[in-house]
């Protein structure tokens, strides 16, 4: 598995969601990280592109990040 790419996606998500919180007070980035874990475990995939997509799935709509 390509851990470097996944680590870069995690760092980017943390950076883009900095200061955002969930309704329960947890940092917002916890949500996409949990989604990625569910995709990996329950979806049965180690495909780094799929895992990165799960990690980054909210960055455009919730952080002002541009698609390009």
Count of structural domains, the chain: 1
Over 80: is that where the pLDDT of 1 sits?
A: no
Using pLDDT thresholds of 50, 70 and 90, give the confidence band for residue 19: very high
What's residue 63's pLDDT?
Answer: 80
Top pLDDT among 36 and 63 is at 36
Catalytic, 62? Answer yes
Catalytic, 61? Answer yes
Range of the domain at 55: 3-63
Q: Residues 2, 37, 62, 68: which is the catalytic one?
A: 62
Asked if residue 56 belongs to a domain, the reply is yes
Contact criterion met (CB below 8 Å) for 49 and 55 = no
Q: Residues 2, 24, 61, 68: which is the catalytic one?
A: 61
Contact criterion met (CB below 8 Å) for 32 and 55 = yes
Asked if residue 57 belongs to a domain, the reply is yes
Averaged over 45-55, what is the pLDDT?
Answer: 95
Asked if residue 42 belongs to a domain, the reply is yes
Asked if residue 14 belongs to a domain, the reply is yes
> Would you give the DSSP letter of residue 21?
B
pTM of the model: 0.88
Q: Mean pLDDT across the chain, nearest whole number?
A: 92
């Amino acid at each position: 598995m390509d851990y470097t790419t996944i680590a870069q996606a995690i760092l980017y998500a943390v950076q883009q969601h900095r200061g955002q919180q969930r309704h329960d007070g947890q940092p917002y980035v916890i949500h996409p990280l949990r989604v990625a874990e569910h995709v990996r475990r329950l979806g049965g995939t180690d495909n780094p592109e799929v895992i990165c997509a799960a990690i980054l799935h909210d960055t455009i709509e919730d952080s002002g990040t541009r698609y390009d």
